[in-house]
Amino acid sequence: MSLELAAPRQSAPSVADDGVWLECIACSEQFAPFDDIRYTCDDCDGLLEVRYADPPTWDDFEGRGVWRYSAALPFAEGVTLPEGDTPLHDVPRLEEDIGVDRLRIKHEGMNPTGSFKDRGMTVGVRVAKELGVDRLACASTGNTSAALAAYGARGGMETLVLLPAGKVAAGKIAQASLHDARILEVDGNFDSCLDIVQDLAARGEAYLLNSLNPFRLEGQKTIGLEIMEQFRDEEGDYPDRIVLPVGNAGNTSALYKCFRELVQSGALAESDVPKLTGVQAEGAAPMVEAVEAGNDEVRRWESVETRATAIRIGNPVNAPKALPGIRNTGGTAVAVSDERITDAQRALAGEGVGVEPASAASVAGLRKLREQGRIAADEQVVCLTTGHLLKDPDAAFEAGDDPEPVPNDTDAVLAHLADD
């Protein structure tokens, strides 16, 4: 099976371009990477992956950021702002409170547009240039639109974003607007927007850059490469587990692909692969439902609702890649309430790490799994936080403390403080 953790290295087929090709994860059909625009398999409509004849080892990487890992990517450089090289925070009070041996926070909100989506766009927009397209498009809960608009602008390309009306945080719409994207608000949810964008792409009206596009995930797999290098260099070992929020399941798929390629090249032993653990909001948890039921497919949720707008998705398109990633690494998935997400957002803020609600889902999920005894106290864990606090300032304001009015007088201020 093509998605096994220990799948052997492949030889380059005749369709490969410099050792790079596309392969269907369902039927194994292979395609040239840049001759034609395709998002799924021509034969069976299965999801495609980018494959490499010569997956790299740690010694092949140099520089900083996403393009440090060019040996693991289809090109030597991309359309860059630059991106990657995000911090791996210590959170000692939170670590002690949750009760794990080591807890680090990989803060992807420190990318140029404030989310992990920049990693995928630096590669995806570069591929669009290679293919000669001139209009980019995405459906978005906000972060994808902001990243695509910025990287499209950097690449001098027209950008079209479709958003669910009234369901996207103002900070994210503002980014897409300022970067000169055409913003279409659809009377429907994210999944409806994605349906339309896929139809536009099928008609040749735009180049789709949602995570259905296999090249998007190539950039996102550098999150895994950075986590492994940073944790190894600072802690002396690899993490036991990576906990991450799940919306369309692109990051889960990308990290699993990263680990498979490291195992293929001999850079990583199977026993050192972290357990991938996905977290969804209770109001939008089709992946969790599939994992708990032992299903090979997810059931589309037509109605989804959560304050964690970035993961308010009922039909995760990358589930066929992500479900094997969770299972084959010995991971799991859990759903958490919006209240738990807000509590985790506050706890991270108490350590100085400011994230949007969806990001905090990873910490909320870790806490719930520890309480249930499904994660051991001796584990070393990395929680992935995917977007910056300022992506959703309204949610941050609601989660934070209210301002306290005081008179315009120093003594009155001191008196007010003394009353506490």
Which positions make up the binding site for pyridoxal 5'-phosphate? 143, 247-251, 386
The structure tokens listed for 379 are: 């584990």
Angle at 145 between CA 141 and CA 146, to 5 degrees: 115
**Residue for token digits 């706890």?**
347
The structure tokens listed for 74 are: 């289809």
* DSSP-derived 3-state class of residue 323: helix
Instruction: List the binding residues.
Output: 143, 247-251, 386
Determine the distance from the C-alpha atom of residue 291 to the mean position of all C-alpha atoms in its chain, rounded to a whole number. 19
Q: Where are the beta strands (DSSP E) in 93-245?
A: 102-107, 135-139, 158-164, 182-186, 207-208, 241-245
Cα separation, 117 vs 223, whole angstroms: 11
Cα separation, 311 vs 418, whole angstroms: 43
Q: Could you tell me the strand order of the sheet in which 30-31 lies?
A: 30-31, 20-24, 48-52
Q: Which amino acid is at 61?
A: F
Q: Which amino acid is at 363?
A: V
Q: What is the widest separation between alpha-carbon atoms in the chain? A: 80
Long-range residue pairs from 261-264, CB within 8 A, at least 24 positions apart, any chain: 261/52, 261/55, 261/56, 261/72, 261/221, 262/55, 262/57, 262/225, 262/228, 263/5, 263/6, 264/7, 264/8, 264/9, 264/55
Cα separation, 74 vs 52, whole angstroms: 9
Cα separation, 61 vs 38, whole angstroms: 29
The answer to whether 120 and 220 have CB atoms below 8 angstroms apart is yes
